[in-house]
């Protein structure tokens, strides 16, 4: 392949849709328990919603502003939108097939049935009519559309009923919209507790009471998706928090980018919706299954452990617990040896949250500094930071207000922290602070000592139960010094910092990774690179990996999501293999291993927050830390080896862009193996 040929890259957006197809394949996997399959349907739907709100919205903005320049793979924005439309349509048909053809019938056999109004008996109809009259009807607001009533505002991701009405005497036709209230959940539960009906179907069965004297000519359930990306000009904002709050208020009025309808409808009704929402025909998706499949989380929450994967209790690793299995003094343990934690197999609450909890209450701790990108609603991390400030410690927290879809929550956390005297910074102008770092300064007999945690995942106790992540605890003086400089640059002023050990983006990460790849290129066939990440997108680094392959370097890439690199192409990438693991835990850790990266030819292992994407390398503050203890390097090598040996969760990327499942009957399942080894 010509080294300048754009075909050497896969398209970023279509690669992401391929990832979501692998998520959907979990729902299609008959080996999984039924409610696990339901969960993957819900995740697939949530993923697709975010994709349209951000990525599709961004492409449509480019088209509307005349920015027609191609992406690195050579596709124009309009071509990408057309390809996305075709791909999403195929995926929605797959979702329909697995839900209606397999999952829902199998659930019915297990006394968990999603029913329609037409299938109900008189007693059920009477019960639901009572529910409608007492709980639903009072909160509904029919909205007419005519010269005196403009087309109503439709909120993002809301479900609506569109009703075409006829005047019996005159034959005049009207349109009205009803917003479906989801305050009672996505489904109403029938008295037996075993059957569930989507709430819009109960409303649709009682439309006559909402439009008395009119004929119901047609009804359709529909849903809109809006552009939900923020566009804050940070350099023009005197107060970033206030600017983001204002932008959040505007987000709800973002341009509609997708219209979903539950089934085919008349041309009249379709044209009305398309015209009023200023959409094109390719923006309409017919979804004959349930609109808002993320609502299936309500079914997954049922108390039916027999239909779910067996539960797993994460452990506290041996260095952090005593003979009675109680958590020890973490500072003493970290002084003895660097410690690597691997979530969710290692308990987040018993290690990371406990580290911050102990720091908050320890009278010898003088200062505590932390970055918060996303955290849970009932965050023990934030509670500990607040308690530390109340105990008179110096507490500084960098809260990233621009964390997409968590902006409002992070504003609330920032204010809660400020109220108790925590020094809160909102990051740097023009950069997102995505690093996952915590620094504790402790007064000890031999002087001040800095304890550090640097991880690959957010300080979020909820997602730590389902996201696979790594973290390093260390009191190495050089790393502590680097982390102090990093926090000072985030909360104050200062740049041109020469870090001793940390690899910090945007200034150093691209340079260091480039240097390490070039080091393996110099070794030729003796070189080896193993990289585990969420996404691989950056064209210059992909081209450098191609160069490494052509030099004979052996390269294994474990990429959960987007991969724009084309592996296995003769003369270009025949020495590169790409695989992706998709299972009950979300692979989220980043491990970068270079077999000959150190000056004396030993391997270099880096873990941290940044993927090999332009945004991570150039527009975010990311932090990678070298893991130099040989026993911890062996642990990382074990994680990589398990990922590469998996025969159940793994998919392999073919040169033509197809993802093929690596499936062996009774083959190794990495998630199962990690659970077993944790205990």
CA 156 → CA 151, 160, 278, 543, 579, distances in Å? 15, 11, 15, 39, 35
- Distance from C-alpha of 244 to C-alpha of 233, rounded to nearest angstrom: 10
- The C-alpha angle 507, 510, 516, rounded to 5 degrees, equals 125
**Cα torsion angle, 425, 431, 437, 440, sign:** negative
- Distance from C-alpha of 583 to C-alpha of 648, rounded to nearest angstrom: 9
The closest of 594, 598, 577, 597 to 643, measured between CA atoms, is: 577
- Distance from C-alpha of 674 to C-alpha of 247, rounded to nearest angstrom: 43
Long-range contacts, 166-170 (Cβ 8 Å, 24+): 166/214, 166/215, 166/217, 167/214, 167/215, 168/213, 168/214, 168/215
CA 456 → CA 253, 343, 619, 678, distances in Å? 34, 10, 18, 19
Backbone dihedral region of 248: left (phi > 0), alpha (psi from -120 to 50 degrees) or beta?
Answer: alpha
- Distance from C-alpha of 297 to C-alpha of 96, rounded to nearest angstrom: 17
Active-site residue, 434 included: yes
The closest of 5, 16, 3 to 563, measured between CA atoms, is: 16
Strands of 143-145's sheet in order across: 143-145, 173-179, 159-166, 215-226, 256-261, 284-286
CA 117 → CA 112, 124, 132, distances in Å? 16, 9, 13
- Of 300, 343, 434, 671, the catalytic one is 434
Backbone dihedral region of 392: left (phi > 0), alpha (psi from -120 to 50 degrees) or beta?
Answer: left
- Distance from C-alpha of 483 to C-alpha of 491, rounded to nearest angstrom: 12
The pair of structure tokens assigned to 326 is 């109680």
- Distance from C-alpha of 509 to C-alpha of 498, rounded to nearest angstrom: 12
CA 510 → CA 8, 216, 489, 573, 676, distances in Å? 21, 62, 19, 21, 37
- Distance from C-alpha of 281 to C-alpha of 302, rounded to nearest angstrom: 38
Burial of 283 (0-12, 13-18, 19+ CB in 10 A): buried
Catalytic residues: 434
């Amino acid at each position: 392949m010509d080294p300048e040929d754009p075909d050497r890259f896969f398209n970023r957006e279509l690669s992401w849709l391929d990832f979501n197809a692998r998520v959907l394949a979990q729902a299609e996997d008959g080996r999984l328990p039924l409610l696990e399959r339901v969960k993957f349907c819900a995740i697939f739907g949530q993923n697709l919603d975010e994709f349209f709100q951000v990525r599709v919205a961004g492409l449509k903005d480019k088209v509307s502003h005349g920015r027609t320049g191609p992406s690195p793979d050579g596709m124009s924005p309009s071509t990408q939108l057309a390809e996305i439309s075709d791909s999403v349509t195929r995926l929605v048909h797959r979702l329909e097939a697995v839900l209606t053809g397999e999952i829902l019938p199998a659930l019915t056999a297990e006394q968990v049935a999603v029913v329609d109004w037409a299938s109900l008996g008189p007693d059920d109809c009477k019960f639901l009519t009572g529910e409608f009259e007492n709980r639903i009807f009072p909160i509904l607001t029919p909205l007419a559309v005519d010269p005196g009533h403009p087309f109503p505002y439709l909120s993002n991701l809301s479900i609506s009923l569109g009703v075409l009405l006829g005047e019996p005497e005159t034959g005049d036709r009207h349109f009205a919209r009803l917003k479906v209230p989801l305050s009672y959940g996505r489904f109403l539960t029938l008295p037996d507790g075993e059957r569930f009906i989507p709430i819009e179907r109960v409303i649709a069965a009682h439309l006559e009471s909402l439009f008395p004297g009119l004929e119901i000519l047609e009804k359709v359930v529909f849903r809109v998706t809006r552009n939900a990306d923020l566009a804050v000009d940070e350099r023009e904002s005197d107060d970033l928090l206030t600017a983001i709050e204002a932008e959040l208020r505007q987000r709800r009025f973002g341009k509609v980018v997708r219209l979903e309808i539950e089934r085919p409808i008349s041309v009249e009704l379709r044209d009305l919706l398309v015209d009023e929402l200023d959409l094109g025909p390719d923006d309409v998706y017919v979804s004959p299954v349930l609109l808002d499949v993320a609502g299936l989380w309500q079914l997954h929450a049922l108390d039916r452990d027999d239909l779910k994967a067996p539960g797993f209790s994460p452990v506290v690793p041996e260095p952090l617990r005593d003979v009675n299995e109680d958590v020890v003094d973490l500072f003493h343990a970290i002084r003895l040896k660097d410690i690597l934690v691997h979530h969710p197999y290692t308990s987040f609450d018993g290690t990371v949250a406990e580290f911050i909890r102990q720091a908050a209450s320890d009278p010898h701790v003088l200062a505590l500094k932390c970055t918060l990108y996303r955290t849970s609603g009932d965050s023990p991390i934030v509670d500990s930071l607040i308690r530390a400030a109340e105990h008179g410690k110096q507490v500084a927290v960098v809260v990233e207000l621009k964390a997409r879809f968590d902006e409002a929550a992070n504003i609330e956390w920032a204010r809660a922290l400020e109220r108790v005297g925590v020094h809160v910074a909102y990051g740097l102008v023009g950069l997102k602070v995505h690093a996952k770092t915590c620094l504790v300064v402790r007064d000890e007999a031999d002087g001040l000592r800095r304890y550090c945690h640097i991880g690959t995942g957010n300080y979020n106790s909820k997602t730590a139960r389902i996201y696979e992540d790594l973290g390093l605890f260390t009191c190495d003086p050089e790393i502590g010094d680097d982390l102090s400089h990093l926090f000072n640059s985030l909360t104050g002023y200062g740049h041109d910092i020469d870090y001793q050990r940390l690899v910090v983006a945007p200034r150093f990460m691209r340079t260091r990774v480039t240097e390490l790849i070039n080091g393996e290129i110099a070794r030729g066939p003796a070189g080896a690179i193993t990289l585990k990440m969420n996404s691989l997108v950056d064209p210059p680094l992909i081209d450098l990996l191609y160069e490494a392959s052509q030099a004979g370097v052996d390269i294994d890439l474990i990429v959960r999501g987007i991969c724009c690199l084309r592996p296995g192409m003769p003369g270009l990438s025949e020495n590169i293999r790409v695989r992706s693991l998709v299972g009950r835990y979300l692979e989220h850790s980043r491990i970068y291993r270079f077999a000959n990266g150190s000056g004396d030819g030993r391997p270099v292992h880096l873990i941290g927050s940044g993927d090999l994407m332009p945004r991570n390398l150039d527009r975010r503050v990311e932090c990678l830390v070298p893991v130099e203890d040989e026993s911890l390097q062996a642990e990382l090598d074990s994680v990589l080896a398990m990922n590469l040996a998996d025969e159940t969760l793994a998919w392999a990327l073919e040169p033509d862009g197809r993802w093929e499942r690596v499936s062996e009957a009774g083959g190794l399942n990495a998630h199962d193996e990690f659970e077993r080894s944790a205990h």
